[in-house]
Structure formats: C-alpha cells, structure tokens
Amino acid sequence: MNPKLRVMIADDERPARSFLAALLRSFDYVEIVGEAEDGTQAVEVIERERPDLALLDMQMPEVDGLGVVRLVRKSRMPLVAFVTAYDEYAVKAFEMNAVDYLLKPIDRPRLADTLQRAQDRLEQGDLRREDIAHIQNAATAYEASSRKVYLERIPVRQQDEVILLQVRDIASVEADGEVLNITTLRKEIHSITYRLKDLEARLDPSQFVRLSRGALARLELITRVTTMPGGTCVVTLKNDQRLPVSRIQSRLLREQLLRL
C-alpha cells in the first residue's frame, strides 16, 4: 500500500482554507498534516511536519508565499504549489517554470492534477535541489511578470472633505481592527477602512517593508533598529515613531538593511 501524500495548507482567509481542506479530504490518498493562517506559521508547520507538498497562498500577512519559500531551510523544503488569484500572465510564469499553481476559485479536477504532479515528482526520487531551483525561478518570473503601477496618492475622507494623501509622505501604516491608521512624516494620522494586505499589494515593495502582521513602514525613513530579547527588534522612524518588529520579520529586515 502506497503511503499517503502528506499535504499542508497556508491561507490567511479561514473560508478559503476550510474549502481547500474539504477538497483535499475527498482524496483518500491525501493526509492533511497541518494548516497555517499566515506565512510565519507556514514556515513553522513545514519545518515541524515535513509535508510532501505545501499549498501556499501568494498573499498572506507578514510573510507571503514567496517569503515562506525563502525562509524554510533547504533541507526541509517540500514540493510547493502556489495558490493565487492573480492574472493569467502571472499564472503562466509559474507554469512555464514547472512549479504548479492553483488559481482561485479552486476546483477538484485542477487540484487532482496538482496532487498527481506531486506524486509523480516524489516517485522519481530525490529531486529536492532541482525542485528548489524551480521554485526560485518561478518566483523570479512571477515578480517580473506582475509589475504593477503602484499607488501615488490615497484618498482619505475627513468629515465632508476628501484629502488626497501623497504616498511619499507616509511613514507607517498600522492596522486597528477593520481600520488602517496612516501616520505621515509630520506625525499626522489619517484613518481608512481597508485591509492591510490589500493596501500593501498596491504599494511599491521597494519603498515599504512589513514589520509585523499589523504594520508597514517606509523603508527609507527607518533610522535605527534596536535588537530586543527573543530575536525581535524595534525600529525608530525619522518622525520618532517606534514600532515593534516580529521575530521572523526582524530577520528579513536586518538582511534587507545590511544589503549594500
């Protein structure tokens, strides 16, 4: 009897995660070994459970699907299929690089194809280095194919007026429930109703960096990084804001800031 295909799921939206889990349970040769609601959890689950296949949502708070791939130790890297809602051109970038994808909304026949590809790879033996190279190539092609026109202004309502806030004036963005609080370089605070991950997707990633599940900051305004116990840190911005950085994002931030 062949061993079951061990699969983990990472998606920050519970309904999407539950739907995918239900589809996977309809295959008697699949065992779900873990679920994660963000990229940080995904790294932990992958390294702990050692799944055969990881189904990673492309957009997750703090660490996205590509970030998970970069953070998982190579010796623990499973086969990966990205779950994406992006356009067809971006999807083709994955397909051309031999890394599978699942386009939302996912249907059972397409999922069956992905599972079969994973089984075929596993039956061919130890292809880990080749698979990791495929994932890295797909990530590069994806980023090249999904260049966007990023926001330059954000409309903010103040009573009966709408202010067009220049993105270049933003120092940080912090989530507070369903509201985002935007702090400018001059310490003005504006609030909008928006999801942080959706706004992050519309901001230039070369200018803004994720600090934690609930905060972004403008990279060029970071003037100091203070290391804290437990591997976390606190950043100080040019406007004197002090913002905590999560453990896993502290690692990424240090690498980014120390890159010459």
User: What is the pLDDT at residue 260?
Assistant: 43
Reported as a pLDDT band with limits 50, 70 and 90, residue 69 is: confident
Integer CA distances (angstroms), 52 to 43, 187, 230, in order: 14, 48, 31
pLDDT digits (tens, 9 = 90+) for 225-260: 998 888 889 999 999 999 999 988 888 887 777 664
How high does pLDDT run on average in the chain?
A: 85
Task: Read off the pLDDT of residues 170-192 as tens digits, 9 standing for 90 and up.
Answer: 999 999 988 999 999 999 999 99
The model's pTM = 0.64
- Does domain 153-258 bear CATH number 1.10.3720.10? no
Task: Give the DSSP H or E segment for 121.
Answer: helix 108-123
Q: Where are the domains of the chain?
A: 5-145, 153-258
Which residue, 229, 180, 177, 179, is CA-closest to 208?
Answer: 180
Confidence of residue 143 (pLDDT cuts 50, 70, 90): low
More confident residue, 128 or 83: 83
Q: What class, spelled out in words, does domain 5-145 have in CATH?
A: alpha beta
Distance CA 110, CA 205 (A): 31
Q: Are 63 and 45 in contact (CB under 8 A)?
A: no
Strand partners for 236? 224, 242
What are the tens digits of pLDDT across the range 191-233? 998 889 888 988 998 899 999 989 999 999 999 999 888 888 9
